[in-house]
Amino acid sequence: MNKTSLIVSISLAFLATGFSQQKSAVKTAKAEVIAMKITSTAFNEGEIIPLKYGCDGPDISPALAWSGVPDSTKSLALVMDDPDAPAGTWVHWVIFNIPADTTGLPENFPTTQEFPSGIRQGINDFHHYGYGGPCPPGEIHRYFFKLYALDTVLNLPAGASKAQLLAAMNGHILATAQLMGRYQRD
């Protein structure tokens, strides 16, 4: 092998190694990205929501936890609704300006309008602040808890509707996650 061939072989080997390492680094970086996730200790995805969280029980909110919130998040918002309601989607909970470092909400979260932390609650379709649990008129319904990571703190008053919240969040959503549970009355 002459000197030029040796240099070309070494250069090609070096380039191949460099590309291989770069390709590997890209895979590692993608693997380290964690998607935002919302869970509950009360029920798993697609399972039945226990009666205590609906109108047939004490009608308290379930504990919720989340992870994978983007670092650039300034606040979080949560909407719970029922797309199976006879008259169209029924809104059960609107809550926003949850501090970005919050990792969940406890069971039986108060229905207070505003909190010192900045959290505000909107009006649900039962016409009150905070959580209003499942209460379907007949067959089993699905209930979606939708979490939004936002790049801003919203300038919305307590009592905002879901429509007002969605409009204010437009262009500010960094990530979303959802948890679905089902409920049927006895």
Contact 182, 40 (CB under 8 A): no
Between residues 11 and 105, the one the model is more confident about: 105
φ, ψ at 136 (rounded to 5°): -70, 150
Q: Does 82 share its domain with 121?
A: yes
Q: Does 5 share its domain with 90?
A: no
pLDDT digits (tens, 9 = 90+) for 123-135: 999 999 999 999 9
Q: Does 77 share its domain with 63?
A: yes
Domain count, the chain: 2
Across the range 92-116, mean pLDDT stands at 97
Range(s) of the domain holding residue 12? 1-33
Helices within 85-161 (DSSP H only): none
Q: Does 81 share its domain with 98?
A: yes
pLDDT digits (tens, 9 = 90+) for 9-58: 444 444 444 434 433 333 333 334 459 999 999 999 999 999 999 999 99
Q: Does 68 share its domain with 4?
A: no
φ, ψ at 55 (rounded to 5°): -70, -10
Q: Does 107 share its domain with 166?
A: yes
To which H or E segment does residue 4 belong?
helix 3-32
Q: Does 119 share its domain with 138?
A: yes
User: CB-based burial of residue 163 (10 Å sphere; 0-12 exposed, 13-18 middle, 19+ buried)?
Assistant: exposed
Q: Does 23 share its domain with 53?
A: no
- Give whole-number Cα distances, 74 to 27, 29, 70, 116, 117, in Å: 28, 24, 9, 16, 13
For residue 57, list its beta bridge partners: none
Instruction: Identify which of 175, 185, 139, 144 has the alpha carbon closest to the alpha carbon of residue 45.
Output: 144
- The CATH number given to whatever domain includes residue 141 is 3.90.280.10
pLDDT digits (tens, 9 = 90+) for 54-81: 999 999 999 999 999 999 999 999 999 9
The confidence score (pLDDT) of residue 34 equals 59
Q: Does 73 share its domain with 153?
A: yes
Mean pLDDT of the chain: 86
> Would you state the structure tokens that stand for residue 61, as one six-digit string?
């909110």
pTM of the model: 0.81
Q: Does 158 share its domain with 138?
A: yes
Q: Does 113 share its domain with 162?
A: yes
Q: Does 17 share its domain with 90?
A: no
> Would you state the structure tokens that stand for residue 23, as one six-digit string?
């390709």
Strand, coil or helix: what is 3? helix
| Structure-token match 């918002």, residue found | 77
- Give whole-number Cα distances, 144 to 49, 58, 80, 151, 181, in Å: 11, 20, 5, 22, 7
